[in-house]
Amino acid sequence: MTRKFEKKEDNILISSSKCDPKKALDTGRGQANVVFASGICLDFESGDLSPQALSKLLPNLRMTVYSSFNSTKAAPRFRVYISTDGIINVQQYRAIVDAILNTLRAEGYGDKKSNTGSKRHGLDLSKRYANDVFYLPCQPKDPSGAYFKVFKRKPRKPLIIQEWIEKYIAEEKATTTFIETPLEQTEFGSQETSPFIPHEGPGVDQEAVDKACSGWQQCPPGKGNDGFFTLGLKLASAGCVQSAITMILREQPQHGRSPDDRIRQVLSILQSLVDYNRKDGSKNITLNPDDYDVLNIDC
């Protein structure tokens, strides 16, 4: 790497996503502005994972790894770009990053060091979103920390989106438990809430639908985007057809902190569910032009 700067802020910022400033009124490059992303970007610092060790944990993924400005030989800091086999939306991006994170955790790399001697992965948990930006590769301030390598030998190939989304869903099903919290103990306790719309029918697990809606309504601050996407996944898993999912997703934003953002999220969630069903042959979710009218979205 021959590009050198006195300070990292002199470098150029890049992103794997395309944003449209007109998609959201209050932000120009927020998650609501993302049109699509092409590839996954990860930031590692102050961890026990080296680029070589990471490549062994993800042996089938083609990736480019390069040192960041403050990297040193003693304390490597690096960024990773993983190409994907197609474009993805913000929910798919976060799901894939979390699936990768779960892989690292399963291999013994925790979010923090512990007294039991466990290792820390070093993945910056604040940089897990499609709208995040990163600096281009350059010479580190300490040249001893320089690193650049493309891991591309067979069997490595671009990340298969469907495979990693399904991996994320399977892990969510295996680890997520529902804890019933009395309504009066939540921020909605003093609000007037409507009963859940019944969507009983052949193959529909109504109890799972009710729990999914309750879980969304108790979503903590800052988790609305991910929580709403998870709601869509759980509704599909409960056996709801597309019309029922659309109805619930349009009704539930009123219980969140940013209802307009959640309404804008509905179409991308439905599209993600269509992608899942296309892979497994399910017929319960299909997206058609009428969905745009139902959601009052121009296409």
Domain check: are 155 and 181 in the same one?
no
The answer to whether residues 125 and 211 belong to one domain is no
- Per-residue pLDDT at 72: 92
Q: State residue 200's pLDDT score.
A: 43
**Burial bucket for residue 234 (CB in 10 Å: 0-12, 13-18, 19+):** buried
Q: Do 31 and 146 share a domain, yes or no?
A: yes
Domain limits at 19? 8-160
Measure Cα distances from 52 to 49, 74, 151, 207 in Å: 8, 15, 9, 46
Instruction: Work out the pLDDT band at 243, boundaries 50, 70, 90.
Output: confident
Residue 207: inside a domain: yes
The reply to whether 236 and 267 lie within a common domain is yes
pLDDT at 248: 87
Residues 111 and 227 grouped into a single domain: no
What is d(CA 126, CA 274) in angstroms, rounded to the nearest whole number? 29
Residue where a domain terminates, one of 132, 160, 188: 160
The more confidently predicted of residues 90 and 286 is: 90
Q: Where a domain ends, among 134, 160, 186? A: 160
The reply to whether 129 and 269 lie within a common domain is no
User: What is the maximum alpha-carbon separation in the chain?
Assistant: 65
Has residue 39 been placed in a domain? yes
Does residue 288 carry a pLDDT above 60?
no
Residue 170 lies in a domain: no
78 DSSP β-pair partners: 44, 67
- Residues 188 and 233 placed together within one structural domain of the fold: yes
Q: What is the number of domains present in the chain?
A: 2
- For residue 18, the 8-state DSSP code is E
Same domain, 124 and 212: no
Same structural domain, 140 and 240: no
Domain-embedded: residue 143: yes
Tell which wins on pLDDT, 35 or 247: 35
Burial (CB count within 10 angstroms: exposed 0-12, middle 13-18, buried 19+), residue 296: exposed
Last residue of some domain: 160, 193, 211? 160
pLDDT in tens, 132-162: 999 999 999 999 999 999 999 999 999 999 9
Question: Which residues on neighbouring strands pair with residue 14, listed in sequence order?
Answer: 134
Question: What is the C-alpha separation between 116 and 57, in angstroms, rounded?
Answer: 22
Q: Is residue 271 part of a domain?
A: yes
In a domain, 299, yes or no: no
DSSP 123: B
Flag whether 1 is in a domain.
Answer: no
Same domain as 140, residue 39: yes
At 6-26, the pLDDT tens digits run: 899 999 999 999 999 888 766
Domain match, 194 and 236 both: yes
Q: For residue 206, count CB atoms less than 10 angstroms from its CB and return exposed for 0-12, middle for 13-18, buried for 19 or more.
A: middle
User: Does residue 206 lie in a domain region?
Assistant: yes
78 and 213, same domain (yes or no): no
